[in-house]
């Protein structure tokens, strides 16, 4: 299916004017609802909306002058008429779905605009993969704007990606029709130290008049933070406490507060507005990462808005943070984010402003969902073979590939251990004394093995280390080709034979997630596109993902959304300790460290 550009406001202004003046009939009128005006922060009863050419022509107490014999009428019946919700920062790949299937999953939840950063596929397929995501995004019946990924690799010198993004790539992407800016600038040390490559990417974006996304995953809010802001990033979603949110808006950034499948950072930051009284215009809600199970069972941006309200935020302010604030930040205020003349006709009907049931969704003037059921098609891109054959191990792995030899003559060793923190992206840098059995270092108690298996260039490389916090028991292993951000393969397990079985299984199916116990596969989620996504419906992927969660629990893991923690253990730009294909990385210093230390 070819992309058909949505008509611009200037293209259809004559028709909008004629409809608003009553000289021509509207295509659609929503009659008799409560208008949520996010510009004035008001709820205005007994209003109607007239729509033509997919855009809003008129909003007022009476739209009868806009109605003709062929005008479609939707009775709001006193319900709230809310602007379609906008997700300001997200990664479609985290849903394990293609853009088409992600859109199909979130449209019934009231999301009509997404600002997506496909840096996951950029690490696997480079600019070619970004273009595929961009092209499928533009085919959808809702607004999916793409941020050009900035950091592949995210930490140069500390990881090896399938492809590298260059300033030339960024400059080229800025000319594409659906590119809205630069994706999160995760290499914050590079910006702080004025790395020429990072500054060239930022400059290409700024010169194109587009927005630079931020990612400052550091607790230091002094000179380093000031230097990062001076480099150009305009927003940040890595805050985890009130002080983070305040620091960002005081420096002219937008504070993006996220509620994803595993990130619960709204409650701890929204007090900057609800208690400290800061201007809410500079605060934005987003999801960052949501897996398919969350989308199917809990919702998307409607879930985030409900959560913000439950945390004490005024409903109208929470809606501003999920609509007009996002639009303004990205220079889209004249396109999306409000129910006002000229804007795209993205409207939600809901009977409750607090619980926010999504009873009807209209996008670009078309009814796209009713009572949780989608009513439109979400076209698929024809993904080529080069996007489906991306897992290259070099050789079949065996238990020996996961052995950690002990220092000669030692009986026990001290190991640096990655500590998982429930519901947060950061990890802890732990140390544990571990036993030596048969010349090999073994996990003990809650400490089990983790391995990073190279899968882009068939090098056969395996980096071994230790991780704590999953609570796994028995002979088991879990493997995933979703391994932010380099997206090699992460294998976590208590038994090396099971780890080899799990890794080889993913090579066999072309990528995904699997859980093995005692030689038996308990769960498999196939992700054949770049080893990251499935083009199956979200409900099907969610069902398999649920079996994966149940398999993790059967192996002893009780963490909330533990899979998200698993998939981020190679993210070498978020403190404290991570694993990469080059070794164990202390993100506090951005240096590789030894796995084992001598005991005193």
DSSP string of 228-261? HHHH---EE----SHHHHHHHHHTT-EEEEEB-S
* Mean pLDDT, residues 508-513: 97
**Could you tell me if 325 and 473 lie in one domain?**
no
pLDDT in tens, 405-460: 999 888 889 999 999 998 777 899 999 999 999 999 999 999 999 999 999 999 99
pLDDT in tens, 333-380: 999 999 999 999 999 999 999 999 999 999 999 999 999 999 999 999
**Half-sphere exposure for 446 (CA within 13 Å, toward CB):** 14
- pLDDT above 70 for 600: no
44-48, 339-343, 466-470, 567-571: least confident range = 567-571
Residue 357, domain member (yes or no): yes
Helix ranges (H only) for 380-513 are: 496-509
**What CATH number does the domain containing 162 carry?**
3.20.20.140
Residue 598, domain member (yes or no): no
Q: Is 76 helix (H, G, I), strand (E, B) or coil?
A: coil
Name the strand (E) or helix (H) holding 29: strand 28-37
pLDDT of residue 574: 86
Last residue of a domain, one of 78, 94, 115: 78
**Could you tell me if 470 and 397 lie in one domain?**
yes
In this structure, the dihedral spanned by the alpha carbons of residues 93, 95, 101 and 107, taken in order and rounded to 10 degrees, is -120
**Could you tell me if 515 and 368 lie in one domain?**
no
pLDDT in tens, 134-169: 999 999 999 999 999 999 998 889 999 999 999 999
Last residue of a domain, one of 345, 361, 381: 381
**Could you tell me if 392 and 362 lie in one domain?**
no
Residue 2, domain member (yes or no): no
- pLDDT above 90 for 544: yes
Tokens read off for 263: 């990130």
51-60, 195-204, 220-229, 292-301: least confident range = 292-301
- pLDDT above 80 for 4: no
pLDDT of residue 411: 86
Tokens read off for 131: 């273009």
**Could you tell me if 342 and 456 lie in one domain?**
no
Residue 149, domain member (yes or no): yes
pLDDT of residue 561: 78
CA distances to 283, 308, 313, 355, 578 from 269, in Å: 10, 10, 11, 21, 25
Do residues 285 and 318 touch, judged by C-beta distance below 8 A?
A: yes
- pLDDT above 60 for 542: yes
Strand order through the sheet with 211-214: 85-90, 111-116, 143-148, 179-185, 211-214
Residue 395, domain member (yes or no): yes
* Mean pLDDT, residues 502-512: 98
pLDDT band at 1 (very low <50, low <70, confident <90, very high): very low
**Could you tell me if 361 and 480 lie in one domain?**
no
Residue 582, domain member (yes or no): yes
Residue 4, domain member (yes or no): no
pLDDT of residue 432: 96
Share of the chain above pLDDT 90, in %: 92
Domain of residue 311 covers 82-381
**What CATH number does the domain containing 37 carry?**
2.30.40.10
The reply to whether the predicted model has a pTM over 0.85 is yes
Residue in this structure with the two tokens 């949520």, named with its chain if needed: 36
**Could you tell me if 309 and 410 lie in one domain?**
no
**Could you tell me if 290 and 407 lie in one domain?**
no
**Could you tell me if 397 and 274 lie in one domain?**
no
**Could you tell me if 337 and 423 lie in one domain?**
no
- pLDDT above 80 for 2: no
pLDDT in tens, 42-81: 999 999 999 999 999 999 999 999 999 999 999 999 999 9
**Could you tell me if 501 and 461 lie in one domain?**
yes
**Number of domains comprising the chain:** 3
Q: How far apart are CA 588 and CA 189, in angstroms?
A: 11
- The size of the chain, in residues, is 600
* Mean pLDDT, residues 529-553: 95
Q: What angle do CA 483, 151, 226 make, to 5 degrees?
A: 120
pLDDT of residue 573: 87
Residue 600, domain member (yes or no): no
pLDDT band at 3 (very low <50, low <70, confident <90, very high): low
**Could you tell me if 241 and 131 lie in one domain?**
yes
Last residue of a domain, one of 334, 350, 381: 381
């Amino acid at each position: 299916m070819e992309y058909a550009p949505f008509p611009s406001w200037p293209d259809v202004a004559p028709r909008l004017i004629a409809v608003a003046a009553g000289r021509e009939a509207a295509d659609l009128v929503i009659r008799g609802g409560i208008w949520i005006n996010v510009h004035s922060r008001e709820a205005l009863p007994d209003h109607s909306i007239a729509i033509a050419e997919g855009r809003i022509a008129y909003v007022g107490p009476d739209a009868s002058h806009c109605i003709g014999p062929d005008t479609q009428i939707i009775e709001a019946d006193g319900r709230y008429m809310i602007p379609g919700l906008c997700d300001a920062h997200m990664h479609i790949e985290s849903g394990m779905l293609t853009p088409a299937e992600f859109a199909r999953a979130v449209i019934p939840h009231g999301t009509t605009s997404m600002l997506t950063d496909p840096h996951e596929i950029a690490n696997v397929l480079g600019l070619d993969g970004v273009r595929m995501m961009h092209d499928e995004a533009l085919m959808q019946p809702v607004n999916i704007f793409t941020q050009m990924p900035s950091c592949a690799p995210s930490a140069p010198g500390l990881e090896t990606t399938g492809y590298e993004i260059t300033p030339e790539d960024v400059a080229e992407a800025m000319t594409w029709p659906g590119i809205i800016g630069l994706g999160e600038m995760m290499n914050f040390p590079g910006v702080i130290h004025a790395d020429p490559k990072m500054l060239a990417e930022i400059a290409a974006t700024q010169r194109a008049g587009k927005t630079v996304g931020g990612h400052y995953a550091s607790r230091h809010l002094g000179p380093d933070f000031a230097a990062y802001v001076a480099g150009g990033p305009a927003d940040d979603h890595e805050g985890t406490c009130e002080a983070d949110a305040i620091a960002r808006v005081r420096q002219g950034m937008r504070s993006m507060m996220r509620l994803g499948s595993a990130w619960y950072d709204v409650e701890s930051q929204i007090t900057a507005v609800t208690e400290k009284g800061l201007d809410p215009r500079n605060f934005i809600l987003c999801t960052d990462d949501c897996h398919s199970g969350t989308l199917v069972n809990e919702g998307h941006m409607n879930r985030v808005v409900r959560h913000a309200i439950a945390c004490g935020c005024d409903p109208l302010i929470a809606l501003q943070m999920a609509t007009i604030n996002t639009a303004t930040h990205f220079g889209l205020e004249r396109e999306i984010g409000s129910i006002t003349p000229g804007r795209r006709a993205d409207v939600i009907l809901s009977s409750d402003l607090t619980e926010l049931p999504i009873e009807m969704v209209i996008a670009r003037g078309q009814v796209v969902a009713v009572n949780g059921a989608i009513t439109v098609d979400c076209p698929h891109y024809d993904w080529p073979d080069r996007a489906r054959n991306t897992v290259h191990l070099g050789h079949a792995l065996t238990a020996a590939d996961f052995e950690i030899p002990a220092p000669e003559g030692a009986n026990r060793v001290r190991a640096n251990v990655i500590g998982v923190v429930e519901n947060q992206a950061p990890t802890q840098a732990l140390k544990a004394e571990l036993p030596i059995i048969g010349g090999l270092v073994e996990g003990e108690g809650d400490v089990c093995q983790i391995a990073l298996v190279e899968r882009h260039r068939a090098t056969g490389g395996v980096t071994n280390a230790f991780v704590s916090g999953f609570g796994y028991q028995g002979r088991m292993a879990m493997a995933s080709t979703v391994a932010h951000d380099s997206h090699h393969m992460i294998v976590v397990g208590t038994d090396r034979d099971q780890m080899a079985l799990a890794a080889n299984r993913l090579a066999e199916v072309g990528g995904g997630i699997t859980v093995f116990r005692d030689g038996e596969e308990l769960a498999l989620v196939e992700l054949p596109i770049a080893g990251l996504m499935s083009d199956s419906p979200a409900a099907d992927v969610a069902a398999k993902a649920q079996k994966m969660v149940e398999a993790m629990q059967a192996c002893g893991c009780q963490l909330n959304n533990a899979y998200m923690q698993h998939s981020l253990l190679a993210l070498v730009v978020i403190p404290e300790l991570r694993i990469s294909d080059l070794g164990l990385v202390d993100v506090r210093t951005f240096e590789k460290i030894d796995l084992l230390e001598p005991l005193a």
